[in-house]
Structure 1
Amino acid sequence: MSSKNLLVELFVEELPPKALKKLGEAFATALAASLKKDGLAAEGATVTAYASPRRLAAHVTGVAAVAADKPVVQKLMPVAVGLDASGKATPALLKKLAGLGVDAGAAESAVANLRRENDGKADILFYDSLAKGATLAEGLQKAVEAALAALPIPKVMSYQLADGWSSVNFVRPAHGLVALHGSEVVPVSVLGLQSGKATKGHRFEAAVDPVVIADADSYAETLKRDGAVIASFAERRAEIARQLAAAAAQAGGKPIEDDALLDEVTALVERPNVLIGQFEQEFLAVPQECLILTMKANQKYFPLLDAAGKLTNKFLVVSNISPADASAVIGGNERVVRPRLADAKFFFDQDRKKSLESRVIGLSKVVYHNKLGTQGERVQRVAAIARAIAEKLGGGVLVQQAEQAAVLAKADLLTDMVGEFPELQGIMGRYYAQHDGLNADVADAIEDHYKPRFAGDTLPRGQVGTVVALADKLETLVGMFGIGQIPTGDRDPFALRRHALGVIRMLAEGNLDLPLEAMLAAVGDKFDSVEGFKPATGQLSDFIYDRLAGSLREQGYTAQEVDAVVSQRPQRLGDIPKRLAAVRAFSALPEAAALAAANKRVGNILKKVENPVEPVVDNALLKEAAEVALHEALVDVVPRADAAFVTGDYTESLTALAALRAPVDAFFDGVMVNAEDPALRANRLGLLAKLHLAMNQVADLSRLSA
């Protein structure tokens, strides 16, 4: 059966720019999936998505005009129910066949052709038939409807159709529908539109109106030539990136890298034209983060940086028009950005008239959480936690600076600049702290206490920042768990997973000597005055170790390696990389598999004992040669393993255990642990407890057993 390529385009009013890329991909994917399901397109068909501000389109290769007929197997009923003693159809069978569309006149012939098959219990009647394949008109109608229904629309609007009576719901009013199978129009109707071959190009620069698409394969080229539109999102994005680089080189700078902004601008223009604008040098006295953010967020401009990464007074505009003289467009954009920059300068100048310290008292009027009090109360808790952590890590100057930074860390929330641009919290605090003449470490800590803000973000740059960042995240975690605000599978409104990963990274990468659960319990003490707070140290600890395990697996460690280490819940997270390296080295030893299996066996034996078994051995009760040999091996190996463990040489500690393989194997081959003599049995259990303790200091080796 011959096939042709298919093109479907829905022409609409301007689509939401931040959603356009996903809308285009979802439309094409759902459309193709429906066609494949109906047998109109092959599983290997190539699907190309198009998305511009005013259109969603999809091109699918190798689409058939009519799908092949499909064999249909219908299970009917047991033979004993469908046929009487003489082999004729019962009323129940005739009724079932009628329901399947078999005419009464053809029923006798159909009954004769029914297939019998035993399902293991009884003979069953089956009716085999052929279902006619769907026509493209039928299948495409269903596919377009399915594609529109599957769109991840941020917000639906209702609008009236041209008849003045009917109304439909969609993300934006739709004004045109193209559906071409090769060069033939496929009759489809959706959103009050009938399919055709004509669409519209650029609002101002299309060469013709309407733009007529000759066939499915000429869609993109025709739109570009006659409609002045680059239909492909990816192609348009690449063209903008190319023009940005060329314009930046011409202006002697480099554009700021921002994939989200590039995607958004790509969704705002149909044929990009990058232009260079500039603003007055005096605005560069404002922190560049403020200027960059206002240009990006409010104007969708690309600020230009110099070779050192410092902001210049030039920016790039991605225009949707290409006039012969672009001076008016450039001038208009320069006039528009000037008040924005002037606002930023005004906020910066006004904010510096008050010190950060003077703003702290105002935090007592800002609600943090209805169960956890105000930001002022929270700041007091964070400062107390920071002081306690600093005392553990260094004392003296660190305590004073960490406490000062913690007290001031949230003060910039009350500034005009952060009120306008919440994304600058912490960043502006650092600038205002510098203006107030505060110590550089304190100023840096005010900005850095939010770090790491996201996966892969940098950690705080100094010890003061690390202490305050830890205190801030721990206060959030302990506080939220203490009032029952625990993340669920799909909801984490307070970003507690991100906070947990931040704590893990700072403790592990900083190799900080801060035992996790003791620290969580100490933080919980700072909530004594909070009504309704119930410490959830165990639950929070589980949560953090779960995040740790997931993070380690993402770093390339095997599930067994991670499980062996994390199941022991090491309190000093900085030790974990060394423990994992030790486990990996141990796993490579020829003795590893046997020792891991033996460790699992020992653990199972000890679990079955009613009361905890102390690792104590009475030499006088060692009767069998194998248990004597195992005890002697432990006396030799354990001190060496323990000494290496104490110094942090975990690889050596585990390697020393390799000498236990032969005596352990001999013990299980020749010794009955559950001896009838209670004293003998207790002594052998004590020997196993001593072995178990020795083998599980670094990691639970039984987890390595297959």
Structure 2
Amino acid sequence: MNSPLLVELFTEELPPRALRRLGQAFADSLTQALAKQHLLGSDNVTTSYATPRRLAAQLSSVLAQAPDQSFSEKLMPVKVGLDAQGNATPALQKKLAAKNLAHLTPADLARESDGKQDYLIAHGTAAGAQLQNVLQAAVESALADLPIPKMMRYQLADGQTSVRFVRPVHGLVVLHGSDVLPVTVLGIDAGNSTQGHRFMSEGPVTLSHANDYATALADKGRVIASFEDRRDAIRQQLDKAAAKLGASLGDETEVTALLDEVTALVEHPTVYVGQFEEKFLAVPQECLILTMRLNQKYFPLFDPASGKLIHKFLIVSNMNVDDPHHIIQGNERVIRPRLADAEFFFETDRKQPLASRVEHLGNIVYHNKLGSQLDRIERLRKISSHLAGMLHADVTLADRAAQLAKADLTSNMVGEFPELQGIMGAYYAQYDGEPAAVVKALASQYQTRFDAPVTDDTLVAAILFVAERIDTLIGIWGIGLQPSGERDPFGLRRAALGIISAVEQLAAGHYLSDTSLNGDAAQAASSGQTGINLPALLDFAASTFQPGALHSGTAEEVLAYVYERYRNQLAGDYARSVVDAVIALQPPLQEVTARVKAVTTFAALPEAESLAAANKRIGNLLKKAEGDLPELDPSLFTEAAEKALYEALSAIEASARADAAQGQFEKSLGAVAQTRAAVDDFFTHVMVMADDPAVRGNRLALLSRLHATMNLVADISRLAQ
């Protein structure tokens, strides 16, 4: 019999941020368990359901009994399983009994060799699994595999037995078609009845068939069981309400995150409009938005033209009533004191200049091995000033931005809303009359990445952004807290990628001598800007820490880590071998992408494979060279092929170097490609490791120059197959 299967676990309120993942994981695990038993029909479709008070899965095509399955069981070596007379040894008899194959005799067993010895093999056909016999284990396995953020222990109704689950369970439905199957989990026996909405349901919802689940819950229980359907319903209501008010829901990323969380809080969503006093709009809107979204799960509304917050918001309620004024007024009463608190914090904080808060940072520990936030500020000032010098930026402004960077940590507003770090500092700095460049730097220091070309207005912000991440990487790495596996509690991966993004945008804004940017070499050179020397900057940053605070080699390890993150970032868009070839040289960060593009073009040339192999061979030969190589002496050439290679190299060497220096990487590699015939001919006719030391050394010197020219843009040996 092939029928739909429904399994529902009715619980107390589940963790909202994990709900969607829990529902999908439960359905996936149950599906996989039954698939292993061959109990799913070929047309099976699994549907996941999740509401604040239930996890459920509906499988459209499940067999009552799986088809018979053929099997092949490797038992043991023949010499172990049979005695001299060919009879089963006790070891074989025990093995057969353990496999439920005791009825088989040695004559029933096949013999197969693995190349070393013969084995006894049992072939046969086993009866297919019965659903009612395996479902108990499948459900238990699905529950055990749930990605539960935190388990709780609770007592069952007998007052003695304790069980562990994410929330107490009060009901279990297991229906195969219209039949209730015997399953018991967490002390609950399966039935065919569930509960609907806590307040609007007509009463217990009895299901006569597994296919009735979603419809019966919606009609009688007033519950939209599907997470996706519930989410879509909320979004439609939000968009409709916002449009009616001529307003916008704001940043889509923030709306999406809140929408997922709110969907996990309601079973029958209805959207209502609330409002607050306009006077609160004098408070920085980030404060109001945060308290509405984070604390109350409201959707703030914005003026579409200006993007400014308006004094109305949307409430997603779990109740649909004819007269919602009590719901609306109740939510308005809840939000009012929170907004008043934000107003009070803001007004109180403004009474004290931001700069006067810096000294109090000495009372806040950054890390017990790295000192206080004030210690960190002093490091940031040094790093920012040093970086500003590299970029020919205003050192005074960079220093001021670094000095004020963490001052808002002592404010009332950030104490209440840590998420507003930097944002509040920017507001307070603006009210204090700090330079606009400093204000912008404070506001953007915590953003994930720099995503627009740097301008004169954002140069100081880019400097603080890079300095903050370099201090984090050097400090946290240097005390032994490097990322491990998926664990990265200090965000070092994000910090490395942030530095890369900032350097890319500095180059895009023409603040670096990246001559690969559309012929801007003259402009970059005339400005005197030589770019960010990352190794030197990391070394300088390491020197700003107290002696002995960091383990030796920290700067070098962090440098390698930044390039490793760049490698991983680029590997999704380019061939791994190409990216490896460029990263191996650790070129200036702003040149990495341009070099990768050039090497990608080079790798497609017919000459590339041969030259890459030759480059690899040359590298191996040079590693074997003893002592320093002599100056190249053309008079020592004895073979026509080595003379030809010297001439081919001399013809392109200067131009290849000049092109690489000017950022014309594709052109430089194109010149290298012209040497292919001479290189191939050299290795065909010339013995590099000649008996004469002078000849051998001269040939190695020639190859050394060729190797250096080949690798001006990338280590092309990495392209060799």
TM-score, L = length of structure 2: 0.92
**What's the counterpart of residue 552 of structure 1?**
570
Name the SS of the counterpart of 2:311 in structure 1: strand
1:41·1:62 contact (CA, 8 Å) conserved in 2?
yes
State whether structure 2 residue 696 is matched by structure 1 residue 698.
no
1:372·1:530 contact (CA, 8 Å) conserved in 2?
no
**What's the counterpart of residue 407 of structure 1?**
403
Counting only pairs closer than 5 Å after superposition, residues 535-574 of structure 1 correspond to structure 2 as 535-554=553-572, 556-570=573-587, 572-574=588-590
User: What is the Cα-based RMSD across aligned positions, in Å?
Assistant: 2.0
Point out the more displaced range, 346-355 or 211-220. Answer: 211-220
1:12·1:54 contact (CA, 8 Å) conserved in 2?
yes
**What's the counterpart of residue 332 of structure 1?**
330
State whether structure 2 residue 222 is matched by structure 1 residue 222.
no
**Quick one: structure 1 residues 81 and 545, their matched pair in 2 at CA, closer, same or farther if it must change by over 3 Å?**
closer
2:478·2:549 contact (CA, 8 Å) conserved in 1?
no
Kindly provide the CA deviation profile for residues 494-529 of structure 1, in whole angstroms up to 9, marking residues without a partner as x: 111111111111123312301111111111121244
State whether structure 2 residue 136 is matched by structure 1 residue 138.
no
For residue 181 of structure 1, report the CA deviation from its aligned partner. 0.7
1:40·1:139 contact (CA, 8 Å) conserved in 2?
no
Counting only pairs closer than 5 Å after superposition, residues 17-416 of structure 1 correspond to structure 2 as 17-42=16-41, 45-101=44-100, 110-206=105-201, 208-256=202-250, 257=252, 258-307=255-304, 308-395=306-393, 398-416=394-412
Kindly provide the CA deviation profile for residues 334-390 of structure 1, in whole angstroms up to 9, marking residues without a partner as x: 111100110110010000000110000000111111111111011001001111111
Name the SS of the counterpart of 1:255 in structure 2: coil
CA distance in 2, matches of 1:576, 1:97: 63
For residue 164 of structure 1, report the CA deviation from its aligned partner. 2.9
1:145·1:190 contact (CA, 8 Å) conserved in 2?
yes
Kindly provide the CA deviation profile for residues 533-565 of structure 1, in whole angstroms up to 9, marking residues without a partner as x: 5451221111111111111113x1111211111
Point out the more displaced range, 492-501 or 414-423. Answer: 492-501
**Quick one: structure 1 residues 90 and 151, their matched pair in 2 at CA, closer, same or farther if it must change by over 3 Å?**
closer
State whether structure 2 residue 617 is matched by structure 1 residue 618.
no
For residue 85 of structure 1, report the CA deviation from its aligned partner. 4.8
Query: What is the aligned-residue identity percentage?
Result: 52
Choose from 484, 491, 507 the match for 1:495.
491
Choose from 586, 594, 606 the match for 1:590.
606
CA distance in 2, matches of 1:438, 1:239: 47
Amino acid at match of 2:569: S
Point out the more displaced range, 588-597 or 641-650. Answer: 588-597
1:483·1:534 contact (CA, 8 Å) conserved in 2?
no
2:2·2:41 contact (CA, 8 Å) conserved in 1?
no
Number of residue-to-residue matches in the alignment: 694
**Quick one: structure 1 residues 29 and 457, their matched pair in 2 at CA, closer, same or farther if it must change by over 3 Å?**
farther
CA distance in 2, matches of 1:84, 1:697: 71
Amino acid at match of 2:9: L
Name the SS of the counterpart of 1:577 in structure 2: helix
**Quick one: structure 1 residues 59 and 128, their matched pair in 2 at CA, closer, same or farther if it must change by over 3 Å?**
same
For residue 310 of structure 1, report the CA deviation from its aligned partner. 1.1
For residue 124 of structure 1, report the CA deviation from its aligned partner. 3.3
**What's the counterpart of residue 537 of structure 2?**
519
Point out the more displaced range, 575-584 or 268-277. Answer: 575-584
1:596·1:701 contact (CA, 8 Å) conserved in 2?
yes
1:606·1:613 contact (CA, 8 Å) conserved in 2?
no
CA distance in 2, matches of 1:532, 1:664: 48
CA distance in 1, matches of 2:551, 2:238: 54
CA distance in 2, matches of 1:484, 1:129: 57
CA distance in 1, matches of 2:82, 2:590: 76
Name the SS of the counterpart of 1:117 in structure 2: strand
Point out the more displaced range, 650-659 or 27-36. Answer: 650-659
Counting only pairs closer than 5 Å after superposition, residues 417-432 of structure 1 correspond to structure 2 as 417-432=413-428
**What's the counterpart of residue 643 of structure 1?**
658
For residue 391 of structure 1, report the CA deviation from its aligned partner. 1.3
**Quick one: structure 1 residues 366 and 698, their matched pair in 2 at CA, closer, same or farther if it must change by over 3 Å?**
same
Amino acid at match of 1:314: K
CA distance in 1, matches of 2:125, 2:612: 59
Kindly provide the CA deviation profile for residues 40-86 of structure 1, in whole angstroms up to 9, marking residues without a partner as x: 22476311100001110000121111222333433344444544555
CA distance in 1, matches of 2:283, 2:109: 85
TM-score, L = length of structure 1: 0.94
**Quick one: structure 1 residues 682 and 95, their matched pair in 2 at CA, closer, same or farther if it must change by over 3 Å?**
closer
CA distance in 1, matches of 2:683, 2:471: 50
Name the SS of the counterpart of 1:309 in structure 2: coil
CA distance in 2, matches of 1:404, 1:638: 47
2:453·2:505 contact (CA, 8 Å) conserved in 1?
no
CA distance in 1, matches of 2:320, 2:259: 19
**Quick one: structure 1 residues 682 and 59, their matched pair in 2 at CA, closer, same or farther if it must change by over 3 Å?**
same
CA distance in 1, matches of 2:568, 2:91: 58
**5+ residue gaps, structure 2:** 513-530
Name the SS of the counterpart of 2:544 in structure 1: helix
For residue 530 of structure 1, report the CA deviation from its aligned partner. 5.8
2:449·2:502 contact (CA, 8 Å) conserved in 1?
no
CA distance in 2, matches of 1:581, 1:163: 69
Amino acid at match of 2:574: Y
